[in-house]
Amino acid sequence: MKYTLSILVENHAGVLSKISGLFSRRAFNIDSLAVGVTNDPNVSRITVVADGDEYVVEQLEKQLNKLIPVIKVKRHTNGDFISRELTLIKVHCPAAKRFEIMKIAELMQAKIVDVSTSTITVEFCNTTEVTKTLVDLLKPYGIRELVSTGTIALEKGASDVTK
Amino acid sequence: MISGAEIMVKCLEAEGVSVVFGYPGAAICPFYDELLNSQIRHILVRQEQNSAHAASGYARASGKPGVCVATSGPGATNLITGIATAYMDSIPIIAITGQVRSDLLGRDVFQEADITGACEPFVKHSYLVNKTSDLPRVFKEAFHIASTGRPGPVLIDIPIDIQQKKIEEFVYPEKVDIIGYKPNTKCHPGQVKKAIELITSSSRPVIVAGGGVLSSGVKLKLVKFAEQTGIPVISTMMGIGVMPSDHELYLGMLGTYGKAAANRSLHQADLVIVCGARLGDRAVAAPDQMSENSKIIHIDIDPAEIGKNVKTTVPIVGDMKNIIDSLIEGTQDYHVSKLWSETLKGWKKELFRKPPVFEGYVEPRAFVGKLSSMLKSKAILVADVGQNQIWCANNFKIREGRFLTTGGMGTMGYSVPAAIGAKLARPTRDVVVVCGDGSFQMSLNELGTIAQNHINVKIIIMRNVRLGMVRELQDNLYGGRYSATFLDETLDFLKIAEAYGIDSAQANSNEEAEAIAEKMIKTDKPFILVCNVSPDTPSI
């Protein structure tokens, strides 16, 4: 089962290595990790998508909480949060295929951000699942390169990470 | 104007530190120079790892964080095993390391090592200080973090230029405010109520006491709780000493190398009250089975320990000292069934095995038992790792004293330096080391520290010319194929003792050993007693 965790940490040098080191030494499997500063410049927010059962994710939360620079750990439950990841996909694209690929991008509400005689680069911002659909649609044309950020997540409605 | 080094010393003074253990080097020289202007006593160890073990022994005997100091690079990396040992055993120590100049960090200059990076998995927290003006806050936080919540080691790495730089003034902060560190020590009243309900409705309860009971300082209250309710107590290795060993309710240590009565009671109990213990694999080999048979109340200051190894019925996060009074009060009308008490008494008797005697050798288990009655009641016994640890854990009779050993990490060579620390913390108490000839040789260089500083510790070497515990393992699991477990028979420990100017003697029987021990205890000088032990003496 997949879990999404939001972790607020002090925005210091070395904090990310403390967090990532914890994952590897406690043998937690991480699907993705994204980090960025919040509206408070002293605080960074890390979003982690982890794979495991209830026992694993509970241990993960507790061990994260033990790290001194960790301010808050919140596990998101299904449906109460919005998640996004940003993906750039460079697709093999001779002139003859350009229209087809542009149509797919339009259908999926992806943006064309770069074009050359033999390639086209698509920018896409959505959930992991929808991104997979787009990638599946583009695969037959030949994906030359794909780069993706980790998932970021935010609570729906008025609730926030501190609650 | 005041230098970083002077600030470091003043911070230690402000924390009430009276002794530090260490080994100098270029990158920590400014601090060592300032130390000459202070009343703080410095004990020069013979290798940095031992400064951390000594700080650990000091911390456990005094109840205050121990401090060790080393230089950058190899000095710092030598500390790692000592820091990791303190981490696994939850002992508060402050490790201070010098570092190369901050503008040279990351360039692989002479004696540079990324010690905060290397120690990451083994410290409760670490600091690489990059501003002299941060030093007071860092020291204040370090002592606070090390000694509160679940205790543990904190590392402070200080580049030499930060030690040299002068700032306007020194103000030691009165309070700490670390946004991400607020250990929960209060026990939730609702959970406490549930625990009391479980206890009062149980018929075969047992208490498992770990090192947390000792670091919380509630052992006398735990005894009161046990006596009032008749609930028997078993301990983990780190918990030995929570109760006098010959108390009728104490069933001994649990686990692979523990007492049969302790293990049996754990498996027959309908309620297990785990107090300040993590129930590692050496204590409970099959934790799943345990929770199948019984309900479990787990009290621990570290929420991550609850549910990690055993499934818990009632988890309680907090300090034992904030719950023990409520437990005593809530169980006033409760007493375990007579049947349970009688059964346990029966097991204690029937499962006691008399050790076999090997002619021409000291029987270590009988001798350790005898030794406990010869020492003062508050004696501190420091056991090393290997068969000697198990002999002591199961046979040394604690009264009001302490049993120090590394139950979590199991670091050979721990005992001699830890005893140095314990003796400096408690100069009026008997401090006795029991180690094997293998573990002794891992830190025999510390005889230099003992001799130079006239530290009155007694060292008993159980000499079987083997790495006994591994050999036993090879007997049981590897068909008796002894690989690398023989030591050199020609080594003369008495000559080593003589070279360091330390008195010594050897014994080939329990009578001899007891006679020498009698004299040894009376002297106010260090002493080494070599007990020749049969290689065939088992651990339990």
Q: Are the beta carbons of A3 and A54 closer than 8 angstroms? A: no
Measured between CB atoms, which of A14, A62, A68 is closest to B180?
A68
Size of interface A-B (CB pairs under 8 A): 35
Can you read off the two tokens belonging to residue A152?
A: 């970021």
Measured CA to CA in angstroms, residue A26 lies from A99, B280, B409, B525 at distances of: 49, 15, 17, 47
pLDDT in tens, B95-124: 999 999 999 999 999 999 999 999 999 999
Can you read off the two tokens belonging to residue B146?
A: 């090390």
Measured CA to CA in angstroms, residue B461 lies from B102, B506, B533 at distances of: 45, 9, 9
Q: Are residues B343 and B239 in the same domain?
A: yes
- Residue A55 at interface with chain B, using a CB cutoff of 8 Å: yes
Nearest-CA residue of chain A relative to B130? Answer: A13
Chain B residue numbers touching A9 (CB-CB < 8 A): 180
The candidate with the shortest Cα–Cα distance to B407, out of B280, B242, B298, is B280
Pairwise CA distance, residues A133 & A149, whole Å? 17
CA B60 distance to own-chain centroid: 7
Residue B138 to chain A, least CA–CA distance (Å)? 13
Count the domains in chain B.
Answer: 3
3 state SS of B42: strand
Assign a CATH topology to domain A84-152.
Alpha-Beta Plaits (3.30.70)
The candidate with the shortest Cα–Cα distance to B145, out of B186, B94, B70, B98, is B94
Q: Are residues B512 and B387 in the same domain?
A: yes
Q: Are residues B306 and B396 in the same domain?
A: no
Q: Are residues B160 and B301 in the same domain?
A: no
Put simply, the answer to whether A68 touches B303 (Cβ < 8 Å) is no
Q: Are residues B369 and B331 in the same domain?
A: no
Residue B539 lies in a domain: no
Residue B458 lies in a domain: yes
Pairwise CA distance, residues A140 & B307, whole Å? 48
Measured CA to CA in angstroms, residue B435 lies from A66, B396, B494, B511 at distances of: 35, 13, 15, 20
In DSSP notation, B195-262 reads HHHHHHT-SSEEEEE-HHHHHHT-HHHHHHHHHHHT--EEE-STTTTSS-TT-TTEEEE-STTS-HHH
Pairwise CA distance, residues B199 & B297, whole Å? 9
Q: Are residues B204 and B281 in the same domain?
A: yes
Can you read off the two tokens belonging to residue A111?
A: 């943006």
Residue A80 to chain B, least CA–CA distance (Å)? 25
Q: Are residues B294 and B324 in the same domain?
A: yes
Nearest-CA residue of chain A relative to B308? Answer: A59
ipTM for the complex? 0.89
Residue B175 lies in a domain: no
Query: Domain span at residue B373?
Result: 364-532
Measured between CB atoms, which of B125, B145, B304 is closest to A59?
B304
From B324, B350, B376, the end of a domain falls on B350
Pairwise CA distance, residues B402 & B152, whole Å? 19
Side by side, which strands form the sheet with B314-317? B250-253, B233-235, B205-209, B271-275, B295-300, B314-317
Residue B177 lies in a domain: no
Q: Are residues B113 and B260 in the same domain?
A: no
Q: Are residues B338 and B382 in the same domain?
A: no
Put simply, the answer to whether A62 touches B117 (Cβ < 8 Å) is no
Q: What is the CATH number of the domain that holds B450?
A: 3.40.50.970
Strand A43-51 versus strand A29-37 pairing type: antiparallel
Q: In chain A, which residues fall in CATH 3.30.70.1150?
A: 84-152
Residue B97 to chain A, least CA–CA distance (Å)? 18
Q: Are residues B334 and B218 in the same domain?
A: yes
Put simply, the answer to whether B125 touches A68 (Cβ < 8 Å) is yes
Q: Are residues B114 and B201 in the same domain?
A: no
Can you read off the two tokens belonging to residue B298?
A: 């787990």
pTM of the entire structure?
Answer: 0.95
Chain B residue numbers touching A59 (CB-CB < 8 A): 304, 307-308
In the stretch 58-97 of chain A, residues with CB closer than 8 A to chain B read 58-59, 62-63, 65-71
- Residue B304 at interface with chain A, using a CB cutoff of 8 Å: yes
Residue B350 to chain A, least CA–CA distance (Å)? 40
Residue B537 lies in a domain: no
Measured between CB atoms, which of B124, B179, B304 is closest to A71?
B179
In the stretch 98-137 of chain B, residues with CB closer than 8 A to chain A read 116-117, 120-121, 124-125, 128
Rg (CA), chain B: 24
pLDDT per residue as tens, chain B (540 positions): 999 999 999 999 999 999 999 999 999 999 999 999 999 999 999 999 999 999 999 999 999 999 999 999 999 999 999 999 999 999 999 999 999 999 999 999 999 999 999 999 999 999 999 999 999 999 999 999 999 999 999 999 999 999 999 999 999 999 999 999 999 889 999 999 999 999 999 999 999 999 999 999 999 999 999 999 999 999 999 999 999 999 999 999 999 899 999 999 999 999 999 999 998 888 887 777 776 789 999 999 999 999 898 889 999 999 999 999 999 999 999 999 999 999 999 888 876 667 778 899 999 999 999 999 999 999 999 999 999 999 999 999 999 999 999 999 999 999 999 999 999 999 999 999 999 999 999 999 999 999 999 999 999 999 999 999 999 999 999 999 999 999 989 999 999 999 999 999 999 999 999 999 999 999 999 999 999 999 999 998
Pairwise CA distance, residues B137 & B109, whole Å? 28
Single-letter amino acid code for the residue at A3: Y
Residue of A17, A59, A68 to mutate when probing chain B, most B C-beta within 10 A? A68
Nearest-CA residue of chain A relative to B178? Answer: A68
Pairwise CA distance, residues A101 & A142, whole Å? 11
Q: In chain A, which residues fall in CATH 3.30.70.260?
A: 2-76
3 state SS of B138: helix
Phi, psi of B217 (to 5 degrees): 70, 35
Q: Are the beta carbons of B273 and B225 closer than 8 angstroms? A: no
The candidate with the shortest Cα–Cα distance to B245, out of B406, B396, B432, B407, is B396
The candidate with the shortest Cα–Cα distance to B30, out of B96, B92, B91, is B96
The C-alpha angle with vertex B181 and arms to B306 and B92, in degrees rounded to 5, equals: 75
Strand A152-155 versus strand A81-92 pairing type: antiparallel
Q: Are the beta carbons of B11 and B136 closer than 8 angstroms? A: yes
Residue where the block lists tokens 């089962």: A1
Nearest-CA residue of chain A relative to B182? Answer: A68
| Number of other residues whose CB lies within 10 A of the CB of residue B375 | 21
Nearest-CA residue of chain B relative to A18? Answer: B120
The candidate with the shortest Cα–Cα distance to B103, out of B144, B159, B174, B184, is B159
Put simply, the answer to whether A69 touches B121 (Cβ < 8 Å) is no
- Residue A21 at interface with chain B, using a CB cutoff of 8 Å: yes
Chain B residue numbers touching A65 (CB-CB < 8 A): 303-304
Q: What is the CATH number of the domain that holds B278?
A: 3.40.50.1220
Put simply, the answer to whether A14 touches B128 (Cβ < 8 Å) is yes
Among 3.40.190.10, 3.10.150.10, 3.20.20.70, 3.30.70.260, name the CATH number for the domain at A2-76: 3.30.70.260
Q: Are the beta carbons of B249 and B216 closer than 8 angstroms? A: no
Residue B358 lies in a domain: no
Strand A152-155 versus strand A111-115 pairing type: unpaired
Produce one character per residue of B299-332: b if its CB has 16 or more CB atoms within 10 Å, e if not: bbbbbbbbbbbbebbbbbbbbbebbbeebbebbe
Chain A residue numbers touching B302 (CB-CB < 8 A): 66
Nearest-CA residue of chain B relative to A61? Answer: B304
From B321, B350, B379, the end of a domain falls on B350
Q: Left (φ > 0), alpha (ψ -120 to 50) or beta: where does B342 sit?
A: alpha
pLDDT in tens, B300-349: 999 999 989 888 999 999 999 999 999 999 999 999 999 999 999 988 88
Look at residue B352 in the predicted model and tell me its pLDDT: 66
Residue of A8, A45, A66 to mutate when probing chain B, most B C-beta within 10 A? A66
Measured between CB atoms, which of A9, A58, A67 is closest to B307?
A58
Q: Are residues B328 and B443 in the same domain?
A: no
